[in-house]
Amino acid sequence: MRLSMIGWHGMFKKDFPIFKKTDMVYLDTAASAQKPAAVLRAMDRFYKTAYSNVHRGQCAWAAAATKAYEAARQNVADFIHADAANIVFTRGATDAVNLVAAGMAQTLKPGDEVLISIAEHHANFVPWQQACLKSGATFQVANILPSGELDRADFARKLTPRTKVVAITHLSNVLGVLNDAAALTRSAHAVGARILIDAAQSIAHVPLDVREIGCDFLVFSGHKLYGPTGVGVLYGPADALANLPPYQFGGDMIRQVAVSETTFADAPAKFEAGTPMIAEAVGLGAAVGYLNRIGWDKIRRHEEELMEYALAELAKIPEVRLMGTAEKQSVIAFTLDGIAAEDIGFVLGKKNICVRVGHHCAMPLHAHFGRAASARISFGLYNDAADIDRFIAALREGMRFFK
């Protein structure tokens, strides 16, 4: 273990009030991250000082709430190097993928193709499968290599002028493998396809620049970015959002409404029908501010050291089988020879160690590996070497029990 871990890892844990009075080891950030005090404070302050609905009110609270909501949009935009006009607040990554898939399904027709990968989370799998079933388009699924990396040759074979949409994960929530989003975007654009990047996992763990990636759509959830649940983001450049029909209809998304017809507002308002998640957006803006104050250098170093240490410790247990051997970021899924993943989860849970067991909303991926379920640990800023030590000790103890 590198000595630097002892120094500043504890510094982050103290930012998260939930850890103050518990011995809980939380290794489930890929499912949802814990919240720093900065986020809790921002939401509390908002409700206590400036709460109102946004956009149309005249009073000071309405103006302040609108300002806070739009400031959050700007914070999120800056975080991924986008313009605020290109940031749509959604309910989460799932909601954002459904928004795009429902819109694209209206133009897909038999003979068109949609290309995803076998490593997709169900959130970026089922909406496209259903869009294909509805429109008669063909659903294409690119393979991965035994290492867990995307099979680029298979991807290239399945990417043709018939491909209208590519939807692919940036960072797999099981394999921890980071795809080259910019390269995939260039390939998709070369055949005239739109591309959606699922950044639900990458957003909190790797710096992301949509100008470099160049994709048409990018989605993520606030709750995996140390922000609240109930808010997420769809990013799209102006032309991609302009060409996408609205997903839901109602207040705030219109320009003119008459009995005979309605004209819609420009994006992002076009996609934000109804009262949005105002305090949640404020909380997400604060989460981004928190990460900005730490800086990517420290975030990356912290996670790389945790990953290196955890992999080294797991490698000492001969029964451990990793899901994919390629370089991993922030997520390690594994099975144990002779012991069911559910049993591992049970033993660890009893010892106050939160890991996740099951298919992790990636059934096709598990089927591809011939495994029904796996155990998964995933890291956040609050984890430290002691968390991994306790996890490994409990895992060894559990293995003795089940053998």
Bridge-based pairing of strands 254-257 and 113-117 is: unpaired
Helix (H, G, I), strand (E, B) or coil at 82: coil
Interacting residue with ligand PMP among 29, 75, 86, 94 (CB under 6 A): 94
Q: Which is nearer to ligand PMP, 135 or 169 (CB)?
A: 169
Question: Under rule CB under 6 A, how many of the chain's residues touch ligand PMP?
Answer: 14
Interacting residue with ligand PMP among 198, 216, 305, 313 (CB under 6 A): 198
* CA 282 to chain centroid: 19
Interacting residue with ligand PMP among 35, 73, 121, 164 (CB under 6 A): 121
From the CB of 185, what's the least distance to ligand PMP, in Å?
A: 17
C-alpha angle 337/338/339, rounded to 5°? Answer: 95
Interacting residue with ligand PMP among 29, 187, 201, 383 (CB under 6 A): 201
From the CB of 94, what's the least distance to ligand PMP, in Å?
A: 3
From the CB of 98, what's the least distance to ligand PMP, in Å?
A: 9
Is 329 an interacting residue with respect to ligand PMP (CB under 6 A)? no
Q: Which is nearer to ligand PMP, 75 or 201 (CB)?
A: 201
Of 117-125, 126-134, 186-194, 287-295, which segment contacts ligand PMP by CB under 6 A?
117-125
Residues 6 or more apart whose CB falls under 8 angstroms from that of 96 comprise 88, 90, 217, 219, 220, 232, 233, 234
From the CB of 360, what's the least distance to ligand PMP, in Å?
A: 7
Is 173 an interacting residue with respect to ligand PMP (CB under 6 A)? yes
Rg of the chain taking only CA atoms, in angstroms:
22
Q: Which is nearer to ligand PMP, 33 or 339 (CB)?
A: 33
Question: Dihedral of CA 294/200/28/283: which sign?
Answer: positive
From the CB of 389, what's the least distance to ligand PMP, in Å?
A: 26
- Say how far apart CA 347 and CA 356 lie, in whole Å: 12
Q: Which residues pair with 220 in a beta bridge?
A: 233
Structure-block tokens of residue 171: 């960072």
Q: Which is nearer to ligand PMP, 223 or 328 (CB)?
A: 223
Q: Nearest to residue 164, comparing CAs of 193, 137, 188?
A: 193
Q: Nearest to residue 173, comparing CAs of 3, 280, 62, 28?
A: 28
Is 98 an interacting residue with respect to ligand PMP (CB under 6 A)? no
CA distances from 117 to 14, 135, 139, 198, 371 (A): 39, 20, 10, 11, 18
- Say how far apart CA 230 and CA 40 lie, in whole Å: 15
Is 307 an interacting residue with respect to ligand PMP (CB under 6 A)? no
In the residue annotation, 361 being an active-site residue is answered as yes
Q: By rule CB under 6 A, what string of x and - marks binding of each residue 334-363 to ligand PMP?
A: ---------------------------x--
Is 93 an interacting residue with respect to ligand PMP (CB under 6 A)? yes
Is 117 an interacting residue with respect to ligand PMP (CB under 6 A)? no
Q: Which is nearer to ligand PMP, 127 or 398 (CB)?
A: 127
Residues 6 or more apart whose CB falls under 8 angstroms from that of 120 comprise 167, 168, 169, 198, 362, 364, 365
Is 73 an interacting residue with respect to ligand PMP (CB under 6 A)? no
Interacting residue with ligand PMP among 36, 92, 148, 237 (CB under 6 A): 92
Q: Which is nearer to ligand PMP, 164 or 376 (CB)?
A: 376
Q: Which is nearer to ligand PMP, 75 or 173 (CB)?
A: 173
Burial (Cβ within 10 Å: 0-12, 13-18, ≥19) of residue 153: exposed
- Say how far apart CA 186 and CA 192 lie, in whole Å: 10
User: What is the binding site for ligand PMP (CB under 6 A)?
Assistant: 92-94, 121, 123-124, 169, 173, 198, 200-201, 221, 223, 361
- Catalytic site residues? 361
